[in-house]
């Protein structure tokens, strides 16, 4: 049986509500890439649904929490080294939560299957008033995800703004998108 998250990680063990909401776009057994997965809250969530998951992060200690989790392959990968860090692999779904490295975005889109799903949620400008990150390199400009993804994928949902809970909140952008090979219209979750 895989080790349970420690109490220190209990607060972040629950999947993002955005990811949970749009998870139905990802068929069970579809291959999922969890980018900058950390301790693997989303990897665990999708593996429990029956999805084979590749969880990548540069933090070997964080990935160690995924040792023995059925359906999860953890890989130590520095996503910021340049080049095609994912090689020629293709995934049916790609998840990115609380991570931004703009040069990686094209590589991620290239790794997404033609009918694949991208779920992305990260910090945006204005977050510096509420906490970390404050560095503009890690904060999306208004509409940035929409502009960068909109030409390549069909946008299912997009949100941006201040989320008040937990206090004091964060400023984020969220996007759910599908590849052009996905039948139209994509089903919307409730």
pTM, two decimal places: 0.91
| Sequence spans of domains, the chain | 7-176
CB of 93 closer than 8 Å to CB of 119: yes
pLDDT in tens, 57-88: 999 999 999 999 999 999 999 999 877 778 89
Q: In what order do the strands lie in the sheet with 72-76?
A: 72-76, 53-57, 32-35, 91-97, 112-123, 170-178, 154-163
- Per-position b or e across 61-97, b if 16+ CB within 10 A of its CB: ebbebbeebebbebeebebeeeeebbeeeebbbbbbb
For 42-169, where are the E strands, in sequence order? 53-57, 72-76, 91-97, 112-123, 154-163
pLDDT of amino acid 104: 94
The more confidently predicted of residues 162 and 10 is 162
Tokens 């069970």 belong to 28
**HSE of 16 in the Cβ direction (CA atoms, 13 Å)?**
23
pLDDT of amino acid 166: 82
pLDDT of amino acid 12: 55
pLDDT of amino acid 188: 85
Average per-residue pLDDT for the chain: 91
pLDDT of amino acid 165: 83
pLDDT of amino acid 189: 82
What DSSP element (H or E) covers 34?
strand 32-35
Domain range 7-176, its CATH number among 3.40.50.150, 1.20.120.450, 3.30.1360.200, 3.90.1150.10: 3.40.50.150
pLDDT of amino acid 74: 97
pLDDT of residue 101 exceeding 90, the answer is: yes
* Alpha-helix residue ranges (DSSP H) falling in the chain: 7-10, 17-22, 41-48, 60-63, 105-111, 144-150
What average pLDDT does the segment 98-115 reach? 95
pLDDT of residue 10 exceeding 50, the answer is: no
């Amino acid at each position: 049986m895989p080790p349970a998250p420690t109490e220190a990680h209990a607060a972040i063990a629950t999947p993002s509500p955005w990811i949970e909401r749009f998870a139905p776009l990802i068929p069970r057994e579809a291959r999922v890439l969890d980018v900058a997965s950390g301790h693997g809250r989303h990897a665990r969530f999708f593996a429990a649904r029956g999805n084979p998951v590749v969880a990548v992060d540069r933090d070997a200690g964080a990935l160690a929490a995924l040792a023995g989790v059925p359906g999860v392959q953890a890989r130590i990968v520095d996503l910021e080294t340049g080049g095609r860090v994912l090689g020629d692999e293709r995934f049916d779904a790609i998840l990115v939560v609380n991570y931004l490295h703009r040069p990686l975005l094209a590589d991620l889109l290239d790794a997404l299957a033609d009918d694949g799903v991208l779920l992305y949620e990260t910090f945006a400008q204005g977050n510096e008033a509420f906490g970390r990150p404050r560095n503009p390199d890690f904060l999306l400009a208004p509409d940035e995800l929409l502009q960068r993804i909109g030409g390549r994928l069909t946008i299912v949902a997009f949100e941006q703004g201040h989320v008040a809970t937990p206090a004091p909140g964060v400023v984020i952008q969220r996007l759910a998108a599908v590849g052009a090979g996905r039948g139209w219209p994509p089903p919307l979750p409730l």
